[in-house]
Amino acid sequence: MASAQITIAGTSAERVYDDLRAAIIGGEYAPGERLRAEALAARFGTSRTPVREALMLLEGDGLVEIEPRRGAVVRSFDPADLVDLYEVRALLEARAAGLAAARIAPADLALLEATCERVEGLTGNGARTIDTLIATNEDFHRILIEAAGSPRLSAALRTVAGIPRPFKTVFWNDASARARSLAAHREIIAGLRAGSSDRAESAMRLHVLNARDFLTEVMRERD
Amino acid sequence: MASAQITIAGTSAERVYDDLRAAIIGGEYAPGERLRAEALAARFGTSRTPVREALMLLEGDGLVEIEPRRGAVVRSFDPADLVDLYEVRALLEARAAGLAAARIAPADLALLEATCERVEGLTGNGARTIDTLIATNEDFHRILIEAAGSPRLSAALRTVAGIPRPFKTVFWNDASARARSLAAHREIIAGLRAGSSDRAESAMRLHVLNARDFLTEVMRERD
DNA sequence: GCGGGTCTTTTTGCATGCAAACGACCGGTA
DNA sequence: TACCGGTCGTTTGCATGCAAAAAGACCCGC
């Protein structure tokens, strides 16, 4: 069964890493915004040293860009990069689903089903609902990735894990996107339960590529 | 055309990162060996701060393990982990080859061919020859990955990039493995030149999975 | 009003001091 | 002998000082 979390927040740098990562993904810092070490240190009640370390880790996650002697900025996601990101994610998560189909524990399968039921219970459009939808969706993907049992795949996925919240918000605000996402999750679960790697893999690939297309479409309309 | 190197070694931490990475991959530090910050700082003529940063980056690359308050050790590669690593690499590099087939520049194609010719010219079994073989092989894969034109794919591959030198040495000491590797590279190049994504992708997957099987076999014999 | 150059301010990157945690060692006890 | 608790040296992790570089403010000439 997949464990809930790996890090027990041992060092201060890890805590800053987790919190800052959440803040960036949560949209608290806008893409392109400068991240000054001193200000972050004050915010997190620590000094610049752990902040620097957290920023370097976030650079590895593709959430922050660091230029020597010029500091760190929140990474901007242009359409081409988002497409690139989602295609790599499709590749890796599809594999994860395929691996998981062969070995997932019943307990994890139940957890995945629980996420679907939680999503079904959410019908509103309030900020609180969107928050829960985003969190539950992340639960689904995290549980599945861990169920794949491939540490290297998990590590590779960390490089394409996070995109800023505004992108997710438009997605989860769209009723049809929401419905299709739920259906896709159910399809993936069906593949997993049947032990069919092909089916789980294909369903996941389709699911992620649909998200890619949705975002592409949204960004095209914005121009 | 793919550029030779990304980093211009701006900060001290990056220099330590590059050099220490090379030292670990080069087998200078044995798996399981402890990496004390002070000693490394002395070696690289700097202080512990940039060393710490480099170690955290190397942890992201899967070359080093850091336990809070207990320090860093060179990561050990057990058979299961090597298989995991190579399978993720197969997935990612196969995709890279497929992407490259559709867009590689003639200049890069020429560079790839040049690596094959260099390998063909090497017939001995001396340490110097092995060094060149390893370096040339890495050139081939690096050029191809950059030719794929997917920054996110490159980033993901960094998490499965390095394995310690001893593993590579046994591979390149084996004449038949060497010959098959060269043939595989030529096959991949043929796919690229034909603009056939399928062919390049399949050839690359086969190539990487063959390496996986070779190493698996070697390790099985050792027990 | 605008561009170029200089000076000030801010911010980064590195070195180092220091407290706390870890582990090795050692003596005592069952 | 095997095991347990205390002590000490070592090493980590964080805070901070400082030099150097970048960003920004300012002024001047045009």
Per-residue model confidence (pLDDT) at position A64: 96
Q: How many CB atoms lie within 10 A of CB A110?
A: 10
Q: What is the pLDDT of residues A52-85, one digit of tens each?
A: 999 999 999 999 999 999 999 999 999 999 999 9
- State the number of CA atoms in the 13 A half-sphere of B111 facing the CB: 21
Please tell me which residue, B177 or B7, carries the higher pLDDT value: B177
Q: How many CB atoms lie within 10 A of CB A179?
A: 11
H-state helical runs in A61-196 = 79-101, 106-120, 127-147, 151-158, 165-173, 175-193
Q: What is the pLDDT of residues B20-54, one digit of tens each?
A: 999 999 999 999 999 999 999 999 999 999 999 99
Of A10, A85, A156, the CB nearest to B92: A156
Name the residue with the least CA to C1' distance from nucleotide C20. Answer: B69
Of A56, A85, A88, the CB nearest to B57: A56
The span from the CA of A83 to the CA of A139, in Å, is 23
Work out the angle between the directed axes of helices A12-25 and A48-60 (0-180°, nearest 10): 50
Q: For residue A49, list chain B residues with Cβ-Cβ distance below 8 A.
A: 49
One of 3.30.70.260, 1.10.10.10, 3.40.50.720, 2.60.120.260 is the CATH number of B12-74, namely: 1.10.10.10
On the question of pLDDT at B191 being above 80, the answer is yes
Q: Nearest nucleotide by C1' from B48 CA?
A: C15
The domain locations on chain B are 12-74, 79-222
Q: For residue A10, list chain B residues with Cβ-Cβ distance below 8 A.
A: 68-69
Q: What is the pLDDT of residues B142-190, one digit of tens each?
A: 999 999 999 999 999 999 988 888 889 999 999 999 999 999 999 999 9
CB contact under 8 Å between B53 and A49, yes or no, is no
The span from the CA of A53 to the CA of A12, in Å, is 10
Per-residue model confidence (pLDDT) at position A163: 87
CB contact under 8 Å between A156 and B56, yes or no, is no
List bases in chain C with any atom under 7 Å of a protein Cβ.
11-17, 21-23
Write out the E strands in chain B: 34-35, 64-67, 71-74
The span from the CA of B207 to the CA of B91, in Å, is 11
The span from the CA of A211 to the CA of B113, in Å, is 38
Q: Are A59 and B6 in contact (CB under 8 A)?
A: no
- A173 strand C contact, CB < 7 Å: no
Q: Nearest nucleotide by C1' from B72 CA?
A: D12
User: Residue A116, SS3?
Assistant: helix
Per-residue model confidence (pLDDT) at position A83: 96
Rounded CA–C1' distance between B50 and C2, in angstroms: 44
- Give the list of residues 6+ apart from residue B183 with CB closer than 8 angstroms, or none: none
B197 band by pLDDT with thresholds 50, 70 and 90: very high
Please tell me which residue, B126 or B98, carries the higher pLDDT value: B98
The span from the CA of A134 to the CA of A98, in Å, is 23
Cα angle B116, B160, B182 (rounded to 5 degrees) comes to: 15
Match 């393990």 to its residue by tokens.
Answer: B65
Of B57, B81, B153, the CB nearest to A88: B153
Cα angle A60, A63, A65 (rounded to 5 degrees) comes to: 75
Q: Are B212 and B87 in contact (CB under 8 A)?
A: yes
The H or E element spanning position A195 is: none
Rounded CA–C1' distance between A67 and D29, in angstroms: 35
The CATH superfamily holding the domain B79-222 is GntR ligand-binding domain-like (1.20.120.530)
**In terms of Cα–Cα distance, which of B166, B110, B171 is closest to B139?**
B110
Contacts 24+ apart (CB under 8 A), B131-138: B133/B172, B133/B178, B134/B165, B134/B168, B134/B169, B134/B172, B137/B172, B137/B181
Of A91, A152, A158, the CB nearest to B85: A152
- Give the list of residues 6+ apart from residue B129 with CB closer than 8 angstroms, or none: B122, B123
**What size, in residues, is chain A?**
223
Chain B's closest residue to A67, CA to CA, is B10
Rounded CA–C1' distance between B73 and C26, in angstroms: 28
Name the residue with the least CA to C1' distance from nucleotide C16. Answer: B47
Q: What is the pLDDT of residues B67-93, one digit of tens each?
A: 999 999 999 999 999 999 999 999 999
Q: Nearest nucleotide by C1' from B16 CA?
A: C14
Q: Calculate the alpha carbon distances from A168 to A6, A51, B107 in Å.
A: 25, 27, 40
CB contact under 8 Å between A156 and B49, yes or no, is no
B125 band by pLDDT with thresholds 50, 70 and 90: confident
**In terms of Cα–Cα distance, which of B183, B91, B188, B205 is closest to B143?**
B188
User: Residue A73, SS3?
Assistant: strand
On the question of pLDDT at B5 being above 50, the answer is no
On the question of pLDDT at A184 being above 70, the answer is yes
- A219 strand C contact, CB < 7 Å: no
